[in-house]
């Protein structure tokens, strides 16, 4: 069974000129991060996008993500997260019965905050 596709909401300009809606906060380091994530198997790139989206909303602090709310099956999301971790693109702390805590590496965060 296929999961429902993610619904993305485009930015809308408010009367004060600010954008509302869903977007990825950048810059995302292209060579150091994104190019390494592109060839990873399965849902790794979808998981990577969600991690950057949540991390950007939380000023790049560690995040917990519920992938099932975004239409990605839990098992596929965990395999994608493991692929990102094995590639050195994220650091993950796992606790039995809880969502994993995902952290972007400090050198990548420093490049993103420039």
Helix ranges (DSSP H) in 1-114: 35-37, 44-57, 74-86, 106-112
* Domain annotation covers residue 94: yes
* Domain annotation covers residue 67: yes
- Print the domain residue range for 61: 25-112
* Domain annotation covers residue 11: no
Total domains in the chain come to 1
pTM of the predicted model as reported, rounded to 2 decimal places: 0.75
pLDDT digits (tens, 9 = 90+) for 23-73: 666 677 778 788 999 999 999 999 998 898 888 888 889 999 887 777 888
Neighbours of 2 (CB within 10 A): 6
* Domain annotation covers residue 78: yes
pLDDT digits (tens, 9 = 90+) for 73-107: 889 999 999 999 999 999 999 999 888 999 999 88
* Domain annotation covers residue 5: no
Neighbouring-strand partners of residue 19: 13
Q: What is the largest CA-CA distance in the chain?
A: 46
Structure tokens at 82: 């493991």
Per the document, the length of the chain is 114
């Amino acid at each position: 069974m296929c999961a429902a596709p993610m619904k993305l909401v485009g930015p809308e300009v408010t009367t004060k000129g600010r954008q509302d809606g869903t977007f990825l906060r950048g810059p995302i380091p292209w060579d150091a991060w994104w190019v390494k994530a592109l060839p990873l198997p399965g849902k790794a790139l979808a998981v990577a996008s969600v991690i950057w989206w949540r991390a950007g909303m939380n000023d790049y602090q560690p995040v917990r993500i519920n992938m099932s709310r975004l239409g990605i099956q839990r098992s596929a999301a965990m395999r994608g997260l493991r692929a990102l971790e094995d590639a050195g693109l994220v650091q993950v702390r796992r606790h039995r019965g809880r969502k994993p805590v995902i952290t972007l590496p400090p050198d990548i965060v420093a490049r993103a905050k420039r």
